[in-house]
Structure formats: structure tokens, C-alpha cells
Amino acid sequence: MGAHQNHLPERLQEIVEEFEWSEGQEKVELLIDYAGRMPEMPAELRDQPDLCEPVEECMTPVSVTAEVKGDRMSFYFDVPRESPTVRGLAAIMAEGLNEATPEQVLGVPQDFYLSMGLDKVLTMQRLNGFSAILAHMKRLAAQALQRAA
């Protein structure tokens, strides 16, 4: 079990454990699998680019937006299919934090992914992008809390 177990929403913890149990190239294959499963951004969000926040820290063009229903959040990403690694990282975050509360999103440690062992198979540049994606999701969660207050 990872050190961050108590701070992660259940689905994100399950994903972390999936990566913890995999080794070497299996981690890359698992990441590519997540990339293939990432749903497309809904048309109503894609057609309103002002609703999408660019993750400028990523070299790959990545945009994220959030939808709040009640006290739960869903995140949607726009990542080119030609960038399966980055798409996989975004898919992990979208799936792992789907239906999380803003407080749960804000509670995810910025370095939670270290226990996944991705630092052994990805460049530091990719890991910085992963961290930037989480930072943008946290900003959207903070904005959701402000609007609800």
C-alpha cells in the first residue's frame, strides 16, 4: 500500500495500487491502456474553448475543464491522441478523481504519483506535466468551493 493511501479518493488509490503492482514496461503499457480508455471531452464543453483551461506547463497541448454537480466534480481533458503518454496521465486523473468532492481533490498530495513508480519509466519532464495537471485540477476545485460559498 502506498504512503498516501489515506489522502486519496478510493478510485485514485486503486489506480495507484495497480501501478505499484506492475513492473517496468508493464507500467508504460498500463499508461497506454488508460490513454485508450479516456473519454472524449463532451461536445458542449469542446465547443466552448473559454471553459477549458490550458495546462501551459505541458509541452503537449493539454486542456482541462471541470463540471460540478451537487458537491461532486467531473474533469474532462482534451489531449491529442498522438500523445498517448500524456493522454494516459490525464486519463488517470480524470478517472481517479471522477465524482470526487472539491475537498478530496485539494487533499491529493502533489507527489502522490511517486509511489506508482512512474519516475522509473517516464522522464522528469513528463512527471512535471503530471504534477501540473493536478495543480490545474486543484485550482478548478478551489474555484468550485469559492462559487459554492
CATH architecture assignment, domain 5-148:
Alpha-Beta Complex (3.90)
DSSP secondary structure letter of residue 22: -
Helices (H), ranges, 22-149: 25-37, 43-46, 84-96, 102-106, 124-148
**Domain ranges within the chain, ordered by starting residue:** 5-148
Q: Does the pTM exceed 0.85?
A: yes
3-state SS assignment for residue 96: helix
Average pLDDT (80-95) is 95
H/E run at residue 75: strand 72-78
Cell of 78: 482534451
Cβ atoms 18, 33 nearer than 8 A? no
pLDDT 10s digits, 21-62: 999 999 999 999 999 999 888 887 777 767 788 888 888 889
